[in-house]
Amino acid sequence: MVEKYKVITLCGSTRFKDSFMEAQKRLTLEGNIVISVGLFGHSGDNEVWENMDEGTLTRER
């Protein structure tokens, strides 16, 4: 059986890791497909910043 699932994308500042995780869990358990942040560089996932020099970290896009 093929069903249609709602796809929800979470976006925002990675400072709010706990809020992302709560929303992702709740929305998934409600039967949605959730696309969210994979790494939380502003909330302790320090490997995000490894091997980056100052120029990379401050470059405007």
- The pLDDT, as a whole number, for residue 55 is 58
**This prediction's pTM:** 0.64
Which pLDDT does position 15 carry in this prediction? 85
Question: How far is Cα 18 from Cα 35, in angstroms, rounded to an integer?
Answer: 16
CA distance 26 to 61: 33
